[in-house]
Amino acid sequence: MAASPTITAPPHAPLPSGPGCPERPCVTELRLSAFAGHRGARFPLGPCTLLAGPSGSGKTTALRAYEALARLGGGAPLGDVFPDPVACVPERARPDAQRRRGFRIGCTTDGPEGPVRLDVAVQVEPELRIVGERLTSGRLVLLETALRDPGRRAVQAAWHTGGSAPVTRAPLPDDRLGTALLPLRVAGKTDGQRQVLAAAEQMVVALRSVFACDPLPERMRTPVPAGSGRLLGGCDNLADVLWRTRQECVRRHGQFVAAVRAGCAGSVADVLAEPSADGTIRGSLDRGDGYRTGFGRLGDGELRYLALALVLFTGPGVLEVDPVGEVPAALQTLTVLADGFDRSLDVPQRTELLRLAARMGERGHIRCVGAVSDASWAAGEDGITVVHLKP
């Protein structure tokens, strides 16, 4: 069972939720009340956060919980989000008198509505279903659901109205996040209803723009077919995405090349993506002296560095994510979840990448949550929150 994490953060990055993102909603805390190896765990999240700890401390589990909340916020059904839900139940959790077992996760977002908190209770056995959900703002409960009749595939929901009837009650499906369904059920006629809608929108917007990224060098070395130009989580189609981004924005590509130059061995004049006669696209580094080094010749660290740097320089329009289409991109923040953030990277590469993540975080458009075994190398870096986990 994971112990309570300890946190280090720069003085200017407060740990509790606050007015850090007044215009762009963002997740400022992840809570794993009872999830896999975590009990009563709270992870404060800044613009750039490192979850640090040895193998078995629960870093990957925390990232998976975050990604699961993001998918639920996007309206995905519970069974798709948790294909192996038993693995999410705390190992020593005993069933109750009705043979029920499950887990509890949640988060806090900050934004125009101030801190808004979401807590979700999921029953795994005997049937997978959401049995409780609570959306709160301060001490005000905006939405609360509970399983009243186990024989029905629905939960009883009650949300704040604030009019002549202080609460509205109705059934909601037990396999979807109620918060994500509120815009379809709440009319917005009273001040209370509008408050509920605003808080739910803040939560959904903060959760949905999430990109889980773990570059796989072995899949990035060979030429790739031309496709949609949207980067996959494993970065298999890196060359295809480079072909697109290089043509779309010369300024951004120049910044990307400068970052690659700082993290790759040898001289780098440009990063190229070239179509072949067979319809595939091949990536390479232009050395500036007539020679080009194909991605197939680059080391694992160079490829992971190159892929993560591209992720930090791009946005939802380039990455395989599902942002809220009704909300302008300028009001959304992309959160990158990077498991093994420093895997295969040497000291200069990981330091440069961390500084790039912190710089992007300061601008407010991109946040990063990365998992590392040891974060001692990040000590003293500005804008970094480090959460230390123990097995």
Residue 335 binned pLDDT confidence (cut-offs 50, 70, 90): very high
Which of these, 247, 282, 253, 248, lies nearest to 269 by C-alpha position? 253
Domain boundary among 145, 180, 209: 209
What does DSSP assign to residue 322?
A: -
230 domain-assigned: yes
What element of type H or E holds 188?
none
Residue 325 binned pLDDT confidence (cut-offs 50, 70, 90): low
Q: Mean pLDDT across the stretch 255-268?
A: 93
Alpha carbon separation from 312 to 47, 49, 134, 283, 379 (Å, rounded): 12, 14, 33, 19, 21
384 domain-assigned: no
- Predicted local distance difference test score (pLDDT) of residue 363: 84
Question: Strand pairing partners for 134?
Answer: 119, 144
List the domain range (segments joined by +) for residue 140: 6-209
| 289 lies in the same domain as 180 | no
- Predicted local distance difference test score (pLDDT) of residue 75: 93
Residues contacting residue 363 through CB under 8 Å, at least 6 positions apart: none
Give dist(CA 321, CA 356) in Å, integer: 21
| 205 lies in the same domain as 231 | no
- Predicted local distance difference test score (pLDDT) of residue 322: 60
Tally the domains of the chain: 2
Cα angle 104, 108, 114 (rounded to 5 degrees) comes to 150
Is the pLDDT confidence value at 14 over 70?
no
263 domain-assigned: yes
120 domain-assigned: yes
- Predicted local distance difference test score (pLDDT) of residue 18: 40
Residue 318 binned pLDDT confidence (cut-offs 50, 70, 90): confident
Assess contact for 12 and 358: CB atoms under 8 A. no
| 320 lies in the same domain as 198 | no
When the pLDDT of each residue in the chain is averaged and rounded to a whole number, the result is 89
- Predicted local distance difference test score (pLDDT) of residue 281: 95
383 domain-assigned: no
Residues contacting residue 145 through CB under 8 Å, at least 6 positions apart: 130, 132, 133, 134, 155, 156, 157, 158, 172, 178
- Predicted local distance difference test score (pLDDT) of residue 97: 82
Assess contact for 364 and 30: CB atoms under 8 A. no
Residue 320 binned pLDDT confidence (cut-offs 50, 70, 90): low
Which residue has 């998976």 as its token pair? Answer: 64
| DSSP-based helix, strand, coil % in the chain, nearest 5 | 30, 30, 40
| 148 lies in the same domain as 162 | yes
* pLDDT tens-digit series, residues 178-210: 999 998 888 888 999 999 999 999 999 999 889
379 domain-assigned: no
Q: Mean pLDDT across the stretch 298-319?
A: 88
388 domain-assigned: no
| 19 lies in the same domain as 148 | yes
- Predicted local distance difference test score (pLDDT) of residue 7: 59
| 251 lies in the same domain as 352 | yes
Q: Mean pLDDT across the stretch 261-268?
A: 92
Buried b or exposed e, range 283-309, using 16+ CB within 10 angstroms: bbbbeeeeebbbbeebebbbbbbbbbb
| 12 lies in the same domain as 86 | yes
389 domain-assigned: no
Assess contact for 15 and 7: CB atoms under 8 A. yes
| 228 lies in the same domain as 111 | no
Which of these, 227, 212, 228, lies nearest to 317 by C-alpha position? 228
Residue 379 binned pLDDT confidence (cut-offs 50, 70, 90): confident
| 221 lies in the same domain as 328 | yes
Is the pLDDT confidence value at 99 over 70?
yes
| 116 lies in the same domain as 178 | yes
Is the pLDDT confidence value at 282 over 70?
yes
Residue 15 binned pLDDT confidence (cut-offs 50, 70, 90): very low
| 115 lies in the same domain as 143 | yes
What element of type H or E holds 195?
helix 191-208
| 24 lies in the same domain as 163 | yes
Domain boundary among 209, 227, 251: 209
- Report the 10 Å Cβ neighbour count for 217: 21
Domain boundary among 188, 209, 230: 209
- Predicted local distance difference test score (pLDDT) of residue 213: 93
Question: Strand pairing partners for 326?
Answer: none
**Domain CATH for 252:** 3.40.50.300
Give dist(CA 130, CA 126) in Å, integer: 12
Give dist(CA 147, CA 178) in Å, integer: 13
